[in-house]
Structure formats: structure tokens, C-alpha cells
Amino acid sequence: MDDPIGTLNRPVSPVVLTRPGHSISRQDIDPNALKVVFRLHRLGFTAYITGGAVRDLLLGRPAKDFDVVTNARPGQIKKRFGNAYVIGRRFRLVHVHFSGGKAIEVATFRRAVDRLEEPAPDSENPPPSPYGTPEEDAFRRDITINALFYDVINDAVLDYVGGLEDLASKTVRVVGDPAERFTEDPVRVWRVLRHAARLEFAVEEEAGREIPVHAHLIAACSGARLYEELNKDLAYETKPVMEALRKFGILRHILGGTGEKYETDAGLFSELSSILEAVDRAKLEGVPLSLAEMYAAIFWPWARPLFEDSGVDFQKILNDAFRDARIQVNVPRSLRADFNQILIIVAAMERALHTGKMRWSLMRRPLFNGATRLHFLIFKSRPPARDESFESLFRQAFPSGGPERRRRRRRRKRPPPEPAGGAST
């Protein structure tokens, strides 16, 4: 392959792979995505399935989300689909909604104009149109294996960038010049490492050399984008990606002081790795872990020492520690409140199993079940079985109920006080 990623400016015709040359079957594709594609086709537009779904299906893995790409403009799609909503500030996308709360993301083919992100310099020169051809759309994507199109109508895979060869040789290759593409959008450094780690692919040599050079630029990306990217790592296999991010010194650029601690303290990171191994396994088995539980999982080893003093205001201690860590990922306030709660409950559970004293009022907190799940994953490396709960663990450790329970039982035996007669509560 002379120029697999075509840094050239001449038009490239795609490699077209028809059946039985590829292994994608329409049956593997989300029926809603098929509906969108067929409808666009009937309306006279071109529409393909693209991104991670094509990659995963060609690898024989189940696909997660089915992105559709088309030459129809967002406004045209909205006008023709009653259930379509235009979203996005940076790039306008359309979400076509279906019953059951499901949505298919439909993007219009676009060119590499990531610099549109910057404010328009003056109104006399409006920014160039972001839209482009299928070929331009393939070339603006991050890595070759993510830039394949599946043409449902002709049952063919279209490859403008050498992605099929890279899938075959298990290579993560940046589309275009790695240094340029990383400078343009440093988040791509993270994405390259994510896909290589998840798929157990090798990073192409030049990209590999450029990763350490550009890694620090990630810290300057917007916290909102970093949050989106981190959530992708937390949604599927998390452990291999966190290990790769640590190896390349990227944790400190996304998780600030917390990430730095994980990079410099091997013991602490190995604690995190064990937790993530259990978490990843549980997820594969279908255990539903919320985003708050995932955030609590990644922060637990770092936060654990903060709970060593007792009788202090853990909420405040956690808030102060997070402030001091200067985490670059912009974690929404409500999510932070939730995973702080989970951390506090997990710590209370662990303390109770040693002291026999539990604040049972915590059971009334809505996040108690999530905290129980995480407690099992952290301390038993597995989720709770159907008949297990934190109480069952506690009863095993303290069959007589523990000091606090005994005291309570004694209290309950006392005769009830005389009615006070007043309204004091």
C-alpha cells in the first residue's frame, strides 16, 4: 500500500467490498437505523451506516450504536422525518426518535473543518460550509477503521482510507498525518489509545511516536468534550483503556491530581485495575452499572484514604479533595453529588463490617443499591448474587447484630414514652 491514507488532494475512489467479501448482514443492524437509511434512500438521498458499528460488525463483534451518515442536510431531514430533532452546536446532527426512547443519530457528510470550533473571525467572511462528499467525510474521521461506510442498499462496504486492510492487520492508523490530526484535535490521541486498547490492535508506528508529543494538549480541550470521551471509556471495557492512558501519562491530563496519583503510585493503580476488571466482567454479564457507580469505581482507590478519619464531614472532605485535584473532565454537579454519595456509603459499609456499627439510615438513600453493588465489586470482585445484600454481609460478620443493633434492640424494648400532648417533633 503506497499511500493508504491518501494525504493527497486528488479524488480517491473507494475500495468496494460486496458480499460475500464482507461479513455484515442486515440482520445485525438496528431496525431503526435500517428504517432511516431506507427512508432517506426513497427520498433520493445517499445514506450509509458508519463509524464504530461498521468496524465492530466487520470484526464479528456486536455493534453498539448505529450512526447514519447522509448527503441530506439537517434541515432537509428534519422536514421529512416527523420524529427528528436537530441537535449540536459544533456540528448540527439530527436525532431521529423511535418508540422506547431510542434514537438514531444522523449526520450529514462533512469536510475536515474542525477549526470551525473557533469563533468566526468576522461576519463578512462567513465560515465555509462544513458539508462535503462521502470521501471528504471519510478523510475527516479519526482512524481508518472508524471511517468505513456500509451501503445497506447495495450491501457493500466502502473504504476510502485503507480501513479494511488495517482491520485485517489489526492496526490503529490515524487518517492523514498523525501530528497534524493530533494538533487539530488532541482528543484523537485518547481515541487512538482507546480503540487500540479495546480491540488489542497495534498503534501504527508514526502515530505511536506522535502520541507522547501531543498527549499534554488533551488537558487544554474543553472539559465538556473530555467528559463525553471519558463516558465512552466507562460505557464498555474500561480497564484496558485506563491502563493505556496511564502508560502514556494521559491520566494526569484528564483526571488532574487524581490521575497523577494513579500514574505515580503503582499500588494504588493496581487497586483500580482490579476493581475495573471486576466491573468490566460484571458489565459483560449484563449487570447494569450506572454512570455514577462507574465514576465512584474510578475514584474509589484515590478517595479511600480520605475516609480513614471517622466522625468528620465526608461530603466536605470529598468536595475539598476534588477541588484540589483540579480534574480537567467537567463532571456535572449532580453526577458528582451522586458518586460522592456512593463513595460515602461504600466507605460506611466497609467501616461497619469492621466495627459492627452501621448507619442503617443510609439504607433509605436512593443510591444505596448502587453502593451495595459497587461494594461487592470492590471487596469481593463480583456483583452481589440475587439473594445477597449489604445486610446479609453484615449478618455474616456480626451474627448477633453488632453493637449498634444490640443497643437499638434494647432501646426498642423500653416502654413507649407517654404521649407528649404537644406538637414538638
273 interacts with, out of Mg ion, ligand ATP, none, CB within 5 to 8 A per kind:
none
Residues 6+ apart with CB under 8 A from 4: 144, 161, 162, 165, 166, 173
Give backbone dihedrals phi and psi of 84, rounded to 5 degrees, phi first: -110, 140
Q: Exposed e or buried b for every residue in 260-278, given b needs 16+ CB within 10 A? A: bbbbeeeebbebbbebbeb
Q: Which three cell numbers stand for residue 207?
A: 502515530
> 116 vs 268, which CB is nearer to ligand ATP?
116
- Is omega for the bond preceding 186 within 30 degrees of 0, making it cis? no
Cβ neighbours, 10 Å, residue 66: 24
| Residue placing its CB nearer to Mg ion in the complex, 236 or 379 | 236
Q: Is 265 a catalytic residue?
A: no
Q: Which of residues 223-242 bind ligand ATP (CB under 6 A)?
A: 232
Chain centroid to CA 185: 18
**Closest by Cα among 138, 156, 136, 225 to 189:** 225
Which entry of 30, 56, 137, 142 is annotated as an active-site residue?
Answer: 142
Q: Which residues of 124-150 are buried (b: 16+ CB within 10 A; e: fewer)?
A: eeeeeebbbebbbbbbbbbbbbbbbbb
Task: For residues 142 and 174, give the distance between their C-alpha atoms in angstroms, rounded to a whole number.
Answer: 6
Nearer to Mg ion, 28 or 65 (CB): 65
Q: CB burial class (10 A; 0-12, 13-18, 19+) of residue 57?
A: buried
What is the nearest approach in angstroms of Mg ion to the Cβ of residue 56? 9
Residues 58-77 that bind ligand ATP (CB under 6 A): 64-65, 67
Question: Is 52 or 130 the residue whose CB approaches Mg ion more closely?
Answer: 52
Burial of 297 (0-12, 13-18, 19+ CB in 10 A): buried
Of residues 6, 51, 162, 384, which one binds ligand ATP by CB under 6 A?
51
Q: What, of ligand ATP, Mg ion, none, does residue 185 touch, CB below 5 to 8 Å by kind?
A: ligand ATP
| 146: contact with ligand ATP by CB under 6 A | yes
Angstrom CA distances, 63 to 49, 53, 264, stand at 11, 5, 36
Per-residue x/- marks for Mg ion, 60-89, CB under 5 A?
A: -----x------------------------
**The binder of Mg ion chosen from 15, 28, 46, 52 (CB under 5 A):** 52
Q: Smallest gap, in angstroms, from Cβ of residue 88 to Mg ion?
A: 15
To Mg ion, the closest distance from the beta carbon of 93 in angstroms equals 13
Distances in Å between the Cα of 276 and the Cα atoms of 298, 301, 341, 366 are: 8, 11, 20, 23
Partner from Mg ion, ligand ATP, none binding residue 146, C-beta < 5-8 Å depending on class: ligand ATP
| Size of interface with Mg ion, in residues (CB under 5 A) | 2
Catalytic site residue from 67, 159, 185, 233: 67
Rounded to a whole number of angstroms, the minimum distance from the CB of residue 67 to ligand ATP is 6
Catalytic status, residue 159: no
Region from 21-29, 139-147, 269-277, 398-406 binding ligand ATP, contact rule CB under 6 A: 139-147
Q: How far is CA 9 from CA 5, 109, 116, 135, 182, in A?
A: 11, 18, 21, 11, 20
Minimum separation from the CB atom of position 394 to ligand ATP (A):
39
| Whether 107 contacts 69, CB under 8 Å | yes
Looking at residue 422, the DSSP 8-state letter turns out to be S
Restricting to residues 185-204, name those near ligand ATP by CB under 6 A. 185, 187-188, 191
What does 188 bind: Mg ion, ligand ATP, none (CB cut-off 5 to 8 Å by kind)? Answer: ligand ATP
What residue 280 binds from Mg ion, ligand ATP, none (CB within 5 to 8 A, per partner kind)?
none
Contact call for residue 141 and ligand ATP (CB under 6 A): yes
Query: What are the catalytic residues?
Result: 65, 67, 142
Residues that bind ligand ATP (CB under 6 A): 51-52, 64-65, 67, 141-142, 146-147, 185, 187-188, 191, 232
Question: Which stretches of the chain bind Mg ion, using CB under 5 A?
Answer: 52, 65
